[in-house]
């Protein structure tokens, strides 16, 4: 008897619910991923 997962709240509510530390961690992670993508793209396509 598994109950269905509750629907996620709208985006603004989620952003407000996330605390500042977690939000900074997410932003930092996204920036690191973008940085790695740029470095890999320049290393592979720049030669």
Residue 18 has pLDDT above 90, yes or no: no
The answer to whether the beta carbons of residues 41 and 33 sit under 8 Å apart is no
The answer to whether the beta carbons of residues 8 and 18 sit under 8 Å apart is no
Average of per-residue pLDDT values in the chain: 78
pTM above 0.95, yes or no: no
Higher pLDDT, 11 or 2: 2
Q: How far is Cα 28 from Cα 7, in angstroms, rounded to an integer? A: 27
């Amino acid at each position: 008897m598994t109950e269905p997962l509750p629907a996620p709240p709208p985006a603004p509510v989620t952003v407000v619910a996330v605390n500042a530390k977690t939000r900074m961690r997410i932003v930092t992670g996204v920036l690191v991923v973008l940085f790695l993508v740029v470095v890999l793209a320049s290393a592979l396509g720049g030669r």
